[in-house]
Structure 1
Amino acid sequence: MSESKDLSRRTVLGRAAALGALAVPGAALLDACATGGGGGGGSEKGTVTKDNPLGIKEDAALEVVIFKGGYGDKYALDAEAAFKKKHPKATVKHNSTQQITQQLAPRFVGSNPPDLIDNSGAQALDMNALIGKGQVADLTPLLDAPSLDDPSKKIRDTLRPGIVEAGQYGGKEVYALNYVQAVFGIWYSSTQLTKYGIQPPQTWQAMLDACATLKKNNVAGWTYAGKYPGYVHYWLFAQIAKVGGKEVLIAIDNLEPNAWKHPAVKAALEPIEEVVAKGYVLQGSEGLTHIESQTAWNQGKAAFIPNGSWVENEAKGTTPANFGMAVQGPPSVSAADKMPFGTIWSAPTEPFIVPKQAMNSLGGMEMLRVFLAKPQAQNFARQVSSLTCVLEGAEGVPLPPGVTSANAALKAAGANNTVNPLILTWYAKLVQDIGQNCGLLMSKRISAADWITKTQALADAVASNSSIKKFKH
């Protein structure tokens, strides 16, 4: 697989924001949407019935665009086939791409966007710009529609906690339906840790001790994707919340003055600064892509890697048998931490949107209703070893060790000890820039104190920029 395809694997939640890539291409085109032509705008409409609660026009054409990254697009083709079975008069046009913005931004300008978009990858459309220009439909009618599995339940009642809120962007309207439930944290091989007599470290002292033991055996403690250093976020945000409580992340999301200067941020950064200072990071990690760092980890060159639950499917080509892939949340810094060990960052990813000017926006929502039926959620879990946003979507599906571990961590944390920083979806470019600071920290070019100063300056610049739409909890 080429590096460009590997990079495109990322979803907009963290995988676009945390990659530390360039600003989202096509933003200027999206800005032109406000003055684009007046075509589209309004949906083909049919008759509302018990079997057609959204009132779609049964013979209307429907166009779906899927981001074809690490999840592929077969799951979408299968859902489209199920849609066709339910609505045999409809015609469905399927497109898949890794260049979402390049292909679709001009269509928003021309007021002829497709009806359903999987807005994911490093080249995802800028949601801040789309929402600011009124280009995305409110999905509330979909959420209030009956589930295909149990018509007595609304779609919203079949989803995991936090899914609806993740698509709201600070208001009541729901602009995105995130299809995948990702778990972020510190990943390791249980087989490797057992080999060296190491227990998964629940404190940072235990982490440092583990790294010292590994170093004696010519194994690095950590590796990371140096070329896309925002991967460090997948541990850091949960660490900040664990130390200082969820309110610190809320202040960061809200761009509050000096939010990044909260003592919890410094306390969260200092342990990894010590890991770096003691030489516990795999030499050369600074120059590795996410695929290369995952491969080095799979080869046993390093024990711990910050990553998300897609890693098992993405790295399966280089993962040895009996690797025992597993994930944990951040270790405890001290007894004064506000949240317990087991605090985990879990967030909805892979956002699907329905453009407001789509010719068949109701059809786009009906297609999503099919995606959210249990057979399609189970099909997704079976194909790509990942959890969907459907609460019971993985029931009856055998899952590999990494996803089993992620699911167990999610259940153990519960709603109280699960965190989800929204800054990554609200201000993707800001988080890309913060990712660059993470790279500087991991390569010993700046200190934790310098990181905080630089990051606060980036957040202040966004907060004072009136051209950027702001969201609040």
Structure 2
Amino acid sequence: MGGSSLPSMGLLPRRALLAGTAALAATACTPSEDPTAPSLSPSPSPTPTAGPFGLAVPSTIRVTVHEGPFGTSIIDGAAARLRENFPGVEVQVEAVVSVADEVGPTLSTTPPDLVNNSGDGRLALGTIADELTPLGELLESPNLAGTPIRDTLYTGALSPGIVDDQQLAMQYTLIVHGLWYSETLFSGHGWSPPNTWDDLYELGAAAAETGRTLFAWDPTQAGEYLDLVIASAIKEDGHDLRLELDNLAPDAWRNPAIERILGQLRRLVQSDQLAEYPDGARERWASGGPLLCPAGATLLRQTKPTMRPDFMPTVAPVPTITRAPKLPFAAIHSEADESFFVPRNADNPQGGMELLRTLLSPEIAAEFSELNELPTVIRGATPESPALASQVRLLADAGENTFKWLFIKYYGLGEQSTAAMAEFLRGELDPGELIDRLQTMCDEVREDPDVVKYEAE
């Protein structure tokens, strides 16, 4: 599927070739480099330069990050280390709510030197490819430990950042999605994470005997229950369904697996196993209330202030309908996230590359993981903790059976789909009505010629 460019930015049409699965293997794919791209190697200059990209010393590096769950903390450690390594270099960091609104209009004029392209207001990579610096030189450069960066990465870190066979962006975090629970609570009651939706219903009955509900949710979290439905359906019906959803196929939402899972979820709604709170559902889970929380691992940073010291947060794969799904039970929804790119028209692209090289070094990655209980794309840079060990174990158990989808974030459908899911969780929509709403939403995007499409594979 093709799409038009953004005329106001003077961009050419692009198709973002985004891999549908993130096979977390130890070898990395090798995109080709753009021979017309400007070299970042040192050039003759009266200003002293340093590092593999010819960073000017002194100089200033301007960085824009998404004001999301990490804020400036995603870059603070790397910025501090770079200042130590290159006295005289200053790093200025700005956090914004919408990268598209704040950075997009500047890409052809005076963009930042490094951009954390994340959040609902992220820029679609395929629409800005001509404005970005290819990162092949970065991948071949040594990290601070002296190892070529390419040799340290999970493959899943590279595929989302490739457009037309060029590496234009780098992901930083590995987000493991699943059902989060307290190992302390479960072991104390002799409970096990559910393998099927029938198991889930039985666990809810056991929870009710202790005065607990199975789930809690609030309006901001409703989208995570839709993620639960999608992930469970993909495991049940396989990658064909993933491709149909991601490529906006007609009637993709009317897949029988989705219909059956929504029926199971409605059964839980009608049995009062999903308690709505105006706000703070995640915090109630972290304080030992509801048993389960469907979410990505960023949940841990959000709930850390209220989590009981003995909680031992642990994650399990989402359940399937049957005990013989097309993908194994160990299959998980996992994605490389928190994308970074270096604008081609930046004043100091060498500085952006040097800061990104620092960020991708094992010691800095380990500091980030320890602070946020979240793995990065750097292999072997995960410190020890029960929550991190749980995520790494799920990744190991899944092997190549990891998957992701991009259509909700890529096409900006998060607000609409979350609102529809909230109505379903309140009992205001039945499964058929929710499916119709979601299918119409995707049909409108598919039929809009002004929307730049990507093709999942």
TM-score category (smaller protein): 0.7 to 0.9
Indicate if the aligned counterparts of 1:196 and 1:213 stay in contact, CA closer than 8 A: no
- Supply the AA of the counterpart residue of 1:454: R
With 376-385 and 59-68 compared, the bigger mean Cα shift is at 59-68
In structure 2, distance between residues paired with 1:259 and 1:65: 37
Within 5 Å, which residues of 2 pair with 1:448-467? 448-467=431-450
Q: Per the alignment, in what secondary structure is the counterpart of residue 134 of structure 1?
A: helix
Match of 1:295 among 275, 283, 305: 283
The separation in 1 between residues aligned to 2:421 and 2:241, in whole angstroms, is 19
Give the Å deviation of 1:207: 0.8
**Within 1, Cα distance between the matches of 2:283 and 2:77?**
31
Secondary structure of residue in 1 paired with 2:380: coil
Q: For the residues of structure 2 that align with 1:59 and 1:228, how far apart are their CA atoms? A: 45
Counterpart secondary structure, 1:302: coil
**Does 1:167 pair with 2:150?**
no
Letter of the structure 1 residue corresponding to residue 398 of structure 2: A
Q: 1:220 aligns with which of 207, 213, 223?
A: 213
* Number of equivalences: 422
The letter of the residue matching 1:167 is G
Tell me the residue number matched to 2:92.
Answer: 93
Q: Secondary structure at the match of 2:413?
A: helix
Asked if the contact 1:47–1:57 (Cα under 8 Å) also holds between the matched residues in 2, the reply is no
Quote the Cα distance in structure 2 between the aligned partners of 1:175 and 1:268.
Answer: 37
Supply the distance in 2 between the matched residues of 1:172 and 1:232 (Cα, whole angstroms).
34
Q: In the alignment, what sits opposite 2:117?
A: 119
State yes or no: 1:229 paired with 2:222: yes
Question: Per-residue deviation at 1:334?
Answer: 0.8
SS in 1 for 2:293: strand
In structure 1, the residue matched to 2:169 is 176
Displacement after TM superposition at 1:79 (Å): 1.1
List aligned pairs for 1:179-194, cutoff 5 A: 179-194=172-187
1:51 is displaced (CA, Å) by 7.4
**TM-aligned CA deviation for residue 443 of structure 1:** 1.4
The residue correspondences of 1:133-282 to structure 2 (distance < 5 A) are 134-151=130-147, 153=148, 155-168=149-162, 171-282=164-275
Contact preservation (8 Å) 1:235, 1:329: no
Match in the other structure for 1:398: 384
Query: Which amino acid counterpart does residue 150 of structure 2 have in structure 1?
Result: R
Shift of 1:106: 4.6
User: 1:255-297: CA deviations, max 9, x gaps?
Assistant: 2222222222223322212211222111x34x33xxx011111
> Identity of paired residues, percent?
25
Structure 1 residue 318: Cα displacement: 0.7
Aligned to 1:419: 403
Question: Match of 1:410?
Answer: 395
Shift of 1:45: 6.0
Structure 2 CA distance for partners of 1:318 and 1:355, relative to 1, 3 Å: same
Change (3 A) 1:133 1:313: closer
* 1:336-366 per-position Cα deviation (integer Å, ceiling 9, x unaligned): 4111222211111111122222122233122
For residues 368-402 of structure 1, give each alpha carbon's deviation from its aligned partner in whole angstroms, at most 9, with x where no partner exists: 111101111111112222211111221xx232x32
In the other structure, the counterpart of 2:32 is none
- Residue 16 of structure 1 corresponds to none
CA contact (8 A) 1:42 1:357 kept: no
Alpha carbons 1:330, 1:344 under 8 Å: kept: yes
Whole-Å separation in 1 of the counterparts to 2:96 and 2:255: 41
Uncovered stretches (5+) of structure 2, i.e. residues with no partner: 1-5, 12-36
Indicate yes or no: 2:80 matched with 1:81: yes
Counterpart in the other structure of 1:9: none
Q: Secondary structure at the match of 2:110?
A: coil
**Tell me, what secondary structure is at the counterpart of 1:338?**
coil
Quote how far apart the aligned CAs of 1:421 are: 1.2
Q: Distance in 1 between matches of 2:242 and 2:268?
A: 24
Distance 1:96 1:332, change over 3 A: closer
Contact 1:63 1:93 in 2 (8 A): yes
Q: Distance in 2 between matches of 1:133 and 1:160?
A: 23
| 2:18 equivalent in structure 1 | none
Cα offsets for 1:52-94 (capped at 9, x unmatched)? 4434445543212233443343452331232234444544333
Secondary structure at the aligned position of 1:345 is classed as strand
Q: Tell me if the contact between 2:67 and 2:97 (Cα under 8 Å) persists in the aligned partners.
A: yes
Checking the alignment, whether the CA contact within 8 Å between 1:243 and 1:267 is kept in structure 2 is no
* CA deviation profile, 1:271-329 (whole Å, cap 9, x unmatched): 212211222111x34x33xxx01111123331111111121222111111211211111
On the 8 A contact 2:222/2:419 being kept in 1, the answer is: yes
Instruction: Please list every run of 5 or more consecutive structure 1 residues that lacks an aligned counterpart in the other structure.
Output: 1-29, 36-40
Rate the CA distance shift 1:426–1:125 in 2: closer, same or farther, 3 A: closer
Query: What's the counterpart of residue 352 of structure 2?
Result: 364
Instruction: Give, in whole Å, the separation in 1 of the partners of 2:437 and 2:74.
Output: 42
- Go from structure 1 to structure 2 and tell me whether the alpha carbon gap of 1:138 and 1:447 turns closer, same or farther (over 3 Å shift): farther
- Distance across 2 between alignment mates of 1:243 and 1:452: 18
* SS of aligned partner of 2:353: helix
